[in-house]
Structure 1
Amino acid sequence: MPDYAKVFNYEAEGLSYTVSLYEENGEFFADISVVEGAMDVNAVYFGDDDFSGDSASLDGPLNMNGTRLEGDKIQWDDAAALSDPGLGPEGEDKETYLSDGDTLTVSLDVDSLEDIDIFGIRATSTTTDAGSIKGVSTDPEEPEVPEEPEDPTYSKIFFGEEFSDTGAPLGGTYILDEEPDPNPYNNIALPEGTEPTFENYLSYFDTDEVYGEVTSIESIIFYGDGADGEPEELFRIDAPEGGFQDADEVLMAYDDALEGFSASGDESGQDLMAALSLEPDAESDAGAGEEAAMDEDELDMV
């Protein structure tokens, strides 16, 4: 989908459409999309909000004569013919005929999209009562920039180097999101104020303060807060055969896991992973893991 810079809207009884402008490889385009109804787009007109000078016009039935904006006659800077009125033998298969959900892309001969404040469409075979329109749209909207999804956060992560036959952690490094107070067992925690995202956990694991070895990781266990407030296992990432080669490979495996969860139809982020239901065997392994977690201070803290 193009990165739209401006979006014009048009609504009338029986017909509504949008005109979305964008730049691609130094050229400028308009996507004309019908939201409701249908029309045969015969010509497009556009210009800035300065109505001085001569107005561009097309001859015959493609003209936009008589169009006004707030009582002022519109001066169009440019116009482009797209098709003759009438569906002809092609009928609704005509390239410029659009119905609900259809989009027509038109090239615009402009130096900048900032030069377009008004957009006009001359259309026939419309689903309006008159059967044709001289549609004028102004006050374009700036499309909302989608917010970047927040990274999931975790209450604890275990970088495991050794596991029992049932999958219970035996050796490795636990890192908590916050240092407990008191901390009699010197549990490792992220530095104060650090957001507990996986990338931050991994970066801290790979520092001189923790002396973690990415190449020694066999599996990584992610924990979230359970219903009782205690950490519970959400999911695991296993190292490939031969182990992880570097931190970038670990992050790629993590991203692949999240994409897999999203593809399953669940919501993204920690809500998604907290809602995962483990298989019965995995539940028993997770239980064993939780028992081992109670004695995590006895693990080999790398």
Structure 2
Amino acid sequence: MPVTSKTFTYEVEGLSYSVNVYEGDDGGFYADITVEEGAMDVNAVYFGDDNYSGDSEMLNGPLNMNGARGEDGDVQWDNAQMLSKPGLGRAGTDKETYVSEGDTLTIELDIDSLDEIDVFGIRATSTTTPEGSIKGVSEEPEEEEEEDDLLLDKVAFGYTMNETGGVSDGLIVSANELPEDVDPTFENYLTYFEEHPYGDVDRIESVIFYETNEDGYPEEIFRIDAPEDGFEDTDDILAAYDEAIEDGALDEVDDALSLMAALSLDESEDDLPEEPIDDEVEDDLLLI
């Protein structure tokens, strides 16, 4: 999937901002510089890719980025664009390149692809930082790996619950009942439920999620209860499931698994055979 935008952030005492780089509807490339805290006069922008070979572009005089460093050291800039001279002059804070908290400055970038920008720099003066100016360097954050969906051994859609909280009437689905080429994620269980003749969202009181314990029996991980007015549809159920996961429904399960693993390790160490006594040492003991 092609990258449609890149976001860079920068934060120091008295100033923080973000830069969103994107391709416009007209085919040009732009950067939205938004100040979240403080203010600054953006005099120049610098940018480059993650290939640091070759000479570095640099503007002369007070607009240079000498000494500016990224996370891994010096930065090699592929392009530098001057926006304004330092100093607010007669315009004061109304200067076109002066950006205050909550404001956004949009500039056009001289690039042909977003692949040309992996690091973004701003040379700014009249800033609200203690130094009064910055040579800000922002690198594109690494994408967080998406967590794999939880694989469930069994899901119970309870219509009527008994005194112990179990299902006395409903649809209970095991992983082996799903199509062979389908992973047992909750979303796939919901698809199965929708297509099943006995599946009825309006009747659901609780949805219970199970895993198989060491003895081979299903064990409840957690459950979600229907709101007072019931679930509207399967999307509503999936949203409740995602919210429960986000709120830590699996935290206790993870803690329990960690404890079981630790206990299992201790037991295995206790079962280790004692080291045999060396024959010579044994003879010495007998002589004593």
TM-score scaled by structure 1?
0.51
Residue of structure 2 equivalent to 1:105: 104
Residue of structure 1 equivalent to 2:155: 157
Q: Is the 8 A contact 1:4 1:143 kept in 2?
A: no
User: Quick one: which amino acid aligns to residue 81 of structure 2?
Assistant: D
Change (3 A) 1:25 1:237: farther
- For residues 115 and 222 of structure 1, what CA distance do their matches in structure 2 show? 49
User: Quick one: which amino acid aligns to residue 40 of structure 1?
Assistant: M
Residue of structure 2 equivalent to 1:266: 247
Residue of structure 1 equivalent to 2:191: 203
Residue of structure 1 equivalent to 2:208: 222
- Give percent identity, aligned residues only: 19
* Secondary structure in structure 1 of the residue aligned to 2:238: helix
User: Quick one: which amino acid aligns to residue 104 of structure 2?
Assistant: T
Alpha-carbon displacement from aligned partner over 1:220-277 (angstroms, at most 9, x marks no partner): 5313349896523623447967xx8xxxx64212123235547xx822x6448999xx
Residue 122 of structure 2 corresponds to residue 123 of structure 1: no
Q: Which shifted more, 14-23 or 169-178? A: 14-23
* Secondary structure in structure 1 of the residue aligned to 2:234: helix
User: Quick one: which amino acid aligns to residue 149 of structure 2?
Assistant: D
User: Quick one: which amino acid aligns to residue 123 of structure 1?
Assistant: T
- For residues 95 and 65 of structure 1, what CA distance do their matches in structure 2 show? 14
Residue of structure 2 equivalent to 1:283: none
1:235 equivalent among 224, 232, 253: 224
Residue 84 of structure 2 corresponds to residue 81 of structure 1: yes
Residue of structure 2 equivalent to 1:29: 31
TM-score scaled by structure 2?
0.53
Q: Is the 8 A contact 1:190 1:196 kept in 2?
A: yes
- For residues 77 and 155 of structure 2, what CA distance do their matches in structure 1 show? 64
Q: How many residues align?
A: 232
Change (3 A) 1:118 1:31: closer
Deviation at 1:213, TM superposition (A): 3.5
Q: Which shifted more, 113-122 or 194-203? A: 113-122
Change (3 A) 1:151 1:65: closer
1:252 equivalent among 231, 235, 240: 235
Change (3 A) 1:253 1:225: same
Change (3 A) 1:67 1:149: closer
Change (3 A) 1:95 1:266: farther
User: Structure 1 stretches of 5 or more lacking a match?
Assistant: 58-62, 179-188, 276-302
Residue of structure 1 equivalent to 2:175: 177
User: Quick one: which amino acid aligns to residue 79 of structure 1?
Assistant: M
* Secondary structure in structure 2 of the residue aligned to 1:143: coil
Q: Is the 8 A contact 2:40 2:99 kept in 1?
A: yes
